[in-house]
A and B are shown apart, each in its own frame.
Chain A
Amino acid sequence: MHETDMTKALILTVRDWWLSQPERPQISQIHLIVGQFTCVEPASLQFAFEVQTRDTFLAGAKLVIQETPLIAFCHCCQQEYRPEIGIRYACPSCGSPMDDIRSGRELKIDRIEYAAQPAPATVES
């Protein structure tokens, strides 16, 4: 499952950011944007994330995945359309091939939510 490798890549990137923060904040949520025209299955990614973050600095952090639809632009018709993934990609009005993808190829770490508190050990007693 390549979601395992995707998750590894994700954790490494977030870790770099986390280490660059002087206070090493407690990360509560990671927001991803995943296009529908990618090879990533959000459910598998979610599962791999839970497994791989156990007992790490990301333990308990939530992965929030926002899917973006596949949207193409037809230059003949000068309009956007939604191809039916797995069935048909050409423009439904004129049959032109899909050659301008406007959305659906994203694989992005959008933002991270974290608590102002530093690591739990240093909080007031």
Chain B
Amino acid sequence: MHQTFDAALEINLLHANQEGADHNRAHFDDWGITCFNVMSSPGAGKTALLERTLAALTHDLTIAVIEGDMTTELDADRLRQYGVPVIAINTGRSCHLDSKMVSGGIHRLAHEYNPAEFDLVFVENVGNLVCPAEFEVGEHAKVALLSITEGDDKPLKYPVMFQEADCLLLTKMDLAPHLDIDVEQIVANVRQINTHVPILPVSAKTGAGLEDWFHWVRAQVHLRQSQPSLSGVL
């Protein structure tokens, strides 16, 4: 018989991913870039929101997109129309982006452009409400989208995403009159798990509410540019 030994490791399961995320964030900080990780279930309107955002903000901010949620090649082309670099990431069969994939994207961006010229990078994550919340990619803030067509119970069913979110957009508000949905109830459910996240109702179709979102984005970028040592949101 042989003896059994024990080694205490006490290491986070996602240790390697976390290290990669910190590495990515250090690059962003060096270059003075603010990075947002944009997450939602499939079809909640991430690409539509980015289109609107690029149309409105490219006048005063230099923006790039790391696209990890390509239903088709057209998604990236839709965004390229706004004259910004769109780095498409092949996620294979993965249901989320991890820090290594995004690192590949960042290095491509740095290779093809002068990264110090950018103010802002949007990472569009794979459409999924479960996993992306656990895998940091090096972002300064997590932006979650919940379309009001998805039902008011989603924040309760997928709490980690809504708890981790630094900004939450309720999308497709233009559809509210056609739906049997209680927007107040969505907000109340989110508030059970996240007391402070800004909740912004928007419509990428009509443009309603988007000014508040643009305001939040600009404030985050300015905050980080005025205090370069800052990491994470305040």
**Partner-B contacts on A (CB < 8 A):** 1-2, 5-6, 9-10, 12-14, 17, 25, 28, 32, 37-40, 85-90, 97-99, 107-117
Contact = CB atoms under 8 A, between A and B. Distances in A.
B5 A9 contact: no
B133 interface: yes
Contacts of A87: 156
Interface residues of B, number: 34
A114 B131 contact: no
Contacts of A37: 159-160
Given A2-B134, A88-B156, A116-B2, A9 B192 contact: no
B11 interface: yes
B97 to A, nearest CB: 11
Interface of B: 2-17, 94-96, 98, 130-131, 133-135, 156-157, 159-160, 191-195
B10 A89 contact: no
Contact of A13 (B7, B13, B157, B159): B13
Given A2-B95, A37-B160, A87-B156, 17 more contacts: A2-B130, A5-B135, A6-B14, A9-B16, A9-B17, A17-B7, A38-B160, A39-B130, A97-B191, A98-B193, A109-B9, A109-B12, A111-B8, A113-B6, A114-B7, A116-B3, A117-B2
Contacts of A117: 2
Contacts of B159: 37, 85-86, 89
